[in-house]
Amino acid sequence: MRSTEKLRTFLLKCQHSDTSASLAALRHIRYRMLGKNILANDRVVIKGARNIETRGLLQIGMNPVAMMHKHDHTLLNIKGRLTFLDNYIIGKGCRFDIGEAATAELGKGYITANSIFIICHGINIGHDCAISWGCQFIDWDHHQISYLGRQERDPRIVIGNHVWVGSNVSVLKGSRIPDGCVIAAGSVVCSVFEQSNCLIAGNPAKVIREEIAWQ
């Protein structure tokens, strides 16, 4: 009975995400043979699968979002190291570009859709984090800007546990977001925040509410 329920759940998931069940099953088997627990729709492109570590089930493009189209593509270009510490969901239309010397580590959570990760150094995202659509995570400026008094800092991005990143947020190099925080939609984060459970908003983002809770 349990196997029947799992099969029914799988078939419904494929149906709702406009995915061929047979192709999804074949790809899942192929990834399992490579030691990767990945379930992806047939419009997902993964380059560098050998550089991905899955400690739970990684679902890519399998969860329907009303604004997404069945032909939307998802790309993972992994030249460095990408580790999922638990079950994780990546929505349709997302792009991951992890550079050769970069490491990315994500705890249990999900990304809704159409978000971009351009990581040349490193990013750590804790457990129970929700990332909305249209977000950007970039730890490199691509061009160097020089000025008097410029201070260098660790470019890696660190996000704590139970953080909610609203839609169309940009998180830039060196950013630190503590546990329990919420980043308001459209914000640009480029600072180190130290206080947990805060509402952070604006461009550049700053704390506008303290001692908040979200679920």
Strands of 95-98's sheet in order across? 44-47, 74-78, 95-98, 116-119, 136-138, 170-172, 188-189
| Pairwise CA distance, residues 53 & 88, whole Å | 12
Nearest to 84 by CA among 47, 120, 109, 111: 109
Q: What is the pTM of this model?
A: 0.92
Q: What is the pLDDT of residues 157-199, one digit of tens each?
A: 999 999 999 999 999 999 999 999 999 999 999 999 999 999 9
Residue 147 — very low, low, confident or very high, per pLDDT cuts 50/70/90?
confident
Whether 161 contacts 178, CB under 8 Å: no
